[in-house]
């Protein structure tokens, strides 16, 4: 089983929102094989608690505007690791230290990476 077209569209919206608010090191993992209720994990890093909160808020706002329903949100008060569950897509927005400590990429290393189309303009030389 692979990630659905709907989850890939959700990923594009969430990744664009994350990039627009300064998220770094975006990685999307296709977890549809081991997890029957989720297709994609989006991992993103913020530089501070304020940045993590801003990234999570923007992802949430853009997905809600696109008509997707949030099932759950965790960690917004501390803003060290915010989890946004939109069913087919779960976004994990980490502070740098939490991202390194929990290492979700290592835990899900057998899952394929889903390409993320960058919405940022290419740097000119």
Residue 119 binned pLDDT confidence (cut-offs 50, 70, 90): low
Q: What percent of the chain has pLDDT over 70?
A: 93
Question: Within a 13 Å sphere around the CA of 79, how many CA atoms are in the beta-carbon half?
Answer: 13
Using CA atoms, how far residue 63 sits from 68, 77, 86, 96, 98, in Å, is 5, 20, 8, 24, 24
| Residue 123 covered by a domain | no
Q: How far is residue 63's CA from residue 4's CA, in Å, rounded to a whole number? A: 16
Asked if the model's pLDDT at residue 122 lies above 60, the reply is no
pLDDT tens-place string over residues 62-104: 999 999 999 999 999 999 999 999 999 999 999 999 999 999 9
Q: How far is residue 78's CA from residue 121's CA, in Å, rounded to a whole number? A: 32
Domain of residue 27: give its range.
Answer: 5-114
Q: What pLDDT, on a 0 to 100 scale, did the predictor assign at position 32?
A: 92
| Residue 121 covered by a domain | no
Q: What pLDDT, on a 0 to 100 scale, did the predictor assign at position 104?
A: 93
| Residue 72 covered by a domain | yes
Q: How far is residue 33's CA from residue 16's CA, in Å, rounded to a whole number? A: 25
**Number of independent structural domains in the chain:** 1
CATH number, domain at 84? 3.30.460.10
| Residue 63 covered by a domain | yes
pTM confidence score: 0.90
pLDDT tens-place string over residues 25-53: 999 999 999 988 899 999 999 999 999 99
């Amino acid at each position: 089983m692979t990630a659905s077209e709907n989850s890939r569209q959700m990923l594009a919206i969430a990744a664009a929102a994350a990039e627009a608010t300064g998220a770094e090191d975006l990685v999307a993992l296709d977890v549809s094989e081991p997890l029957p209720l989720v297709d994609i994990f989006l991992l993103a890093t913020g530089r501070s608690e304020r940045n993590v909160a801003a990234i999570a808020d923007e992802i949430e706002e853009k997905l809600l505007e696109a008509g997707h329903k949030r099932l759950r949100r965790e960690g917004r008060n501390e803003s060290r690791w915010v989890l946004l569950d939109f069913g087919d897509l779960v976004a994990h927005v980490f502070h740098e230290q939490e991202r390194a400590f929990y290492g979700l990429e290592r835990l899900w290393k057998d899952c394929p990476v889903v390409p993320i189309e960058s919405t940022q303009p290419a740097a000119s030389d």
